[in-house]
Amino acid sequence: MAACTLGRDRDTLEQPLQPVAGSPIHRFTAEIINRYPHDPRAFTQGLLVHEGQLHESTGGEGRSDIRKVDLTTGHVLARARFDSREFGEGLAVWQDELVALTWTSGVARRWRLSDLTPTGVFRYQGEGWGLTSDGVNLIQSDGSATLYFRDPETFAVRRSITVTLAGRPLERLNELEFINGLVWANVWMSRDIALINPADGRVVAMLDLTQLVQEVGQRDLDAVANGIAWDADARRLFVTGKLWPTLFEIGLPPLQP
């Protein structure tokens, strides 16, 4: 997602979200395990690891793409481009395909996972921000407090939930990942990842990325934390941001779903 932030200070925009006093929300600080190079020109919109391979979707008018990336070097191994008029957004795997949203075009593009050959499109209403899969549904965000659970074969909405933090709707849900029964969501223009119960939308924990944001030291207002990838086979967790030069491996918080 991209938007105009002129006239606003980065430190004001990117503050950790604070739940209401007394609310039972766990707050964790990201523990850095390792650092890897990341393309500093990549406007990261989606990030995932499938069978050990890192995949990424990037945004930008006329330069949006999906790519296979060497995790340890950051080198792009293969890529496929969106239509020049489309702004790429979130990315998910479903069976043998990659599915990637577009911001305002109402199109989700599909590519063969093995070689990035185009395989078709889905059409939908509204904006596309983040996308992930729980193994049954494709789960989509649109920048609001709503998550949509979609049929992976038709992209029809099966159900939706309102995400709440201490009883209040949590807006600006962006990039998504499904980890150990919870939906993880970058919250746009914050330094937090929200861990969400997919049954009722309650945020059960927040993961604070302040240390990572400060280490990267980006002053570009668009260079926000965005990108969560869970390697389920190796049980490794990776995060990055738009235009960040670093992909961080971080520890999994000690929280049971």
Position 150 in a domain: yes
12 — pLDDT class (breaks 50, 70, 90): very low
pLDDT per residue over 186-214, tens digit each? 999 999 999 999 999 999 999 999 999 99
Position 17 in a domain: no
pLDDT per residue over 16-58, tens digit each? 555 544 557 899 999 999 999 999 999 999 999 999 999 999 9
Look at residue 75 and tell me whether its pLDDT is greater than 80.
yes
Q: How many domains does the chain have?
A: 1
pLDDT given at position 23: 57
Mean per-residue pLDDT of the chain = 92
Position 9 in a domain: no
pLDDT given at position 14: 52
Question: What domain range is 131 assigned to?
Answer: 22-236
Position 120 in a domain: yes
pLDDT per residue over 83-132, tens digit each? 999 999 999 999 999 999 999 999 999 999 999 999 999 999 999 999 99
Position 156 in a domain: yes
Per-residue exposure over 36-65, b if at least 16 CB sit within 10 Å of its own CB, e if not: bebbeebbbbbbbbbeeebbbbbbbeeebb
pLDDT per residue over 118-166, tens digit each? 999 999 999 999 999 999 999 999 999 999 999 999 999 999 999 999 9
Position 230 in a domain: yes
pLDDT given at position 218: 80
pLDDT given at position 20: 44
CA distances from 15 to 36, 192, 213, 214 (A): 25, 8, 11, 12
Position 10 in a domain: no
- Residue 210's domain is classified under what CATH number? 2.120.10.30
Q: How many other C-beta atoms can be found within 10 angstroms of the C-beta atom of residue 9?
A: 9
Q: Is 27 in contact with 206 (CB distance < 8 Å)?
A: yes
Between CA 189 and CA 209 the distance in angstroms is 12
Position 252 in a domain: no
Tell me what the mean pLDDT of segment 161-175 comes to. Answer: 98
- Beta strands 203-208 and 225-231 are unpaired
